[in-house]
Amino acid sequence: MTKEVPADPFMMAGMMDCLSIAIENAVLEWGDTLEGFLDKFIRSGLEKAFSDQAPFVTTGCTGEELVVKVYERLTGQPLDIRVNPDMLQYSEYFWIGYAIALLVAEKGFTVREMLECIPPQEWLRLYHLGREYGDELLLEKLSKYMRTSKSI
């Protein structure tokens, strides 16, 4: 299942920024859906590297670069980064990436495990419930949600 992992604050911050911005960028700039991007993220193989906290996908690239890496791995075509300087909106998509990265860094869940337990549409519902939680309460609530899920 999951294990408590010591979290390096620098790595955690990089992971949360990277995945938060990647999800928001994929949806708002590339026109993907939350489900579509997360599926591509898993199929690209970058989800495993992210879940393993490999530096090149956590602190070694920006969220916008991660989106391009995901799409390039699946299409085999070089792509340009799409970014609007005013794009970062801290939307529900940003929050979802933040929450997922927080669970990876602090609780050792993989992204794949989380999506098996909490489907993308449920993450959107959880955003409305948990967006005001601090990190500690958010971790507590999401960890409990993961433990009580039928998938685990």
Q: Please state the φ and ψ torsions of residue 82, each to the nearest 5 degrees.
A: -110, 115
pLDDT digits (tens, 9 = 90+) for 86-99: 666 788 999 999 99
Residue 6 has pLDDT above 60, yes or no: no
Residue 58 has pLDDT above 70, yes or no: yes
pLDDT digits (tens, 9 = 90+) for 114-139: 999 999 989 988 888 788 888 889 98
In this structure, of 68-72, 75-79, 138-142, 148-152, the range with the lowest mean pLDDT score is 148-152
pLDDT at 3: 45
The whole-number average pLDDT for the span 32-41 is: 97
Cβ atoms of 105 and 53 within 8 Å: the answer is yes
Single pTM value for the model = 0.84
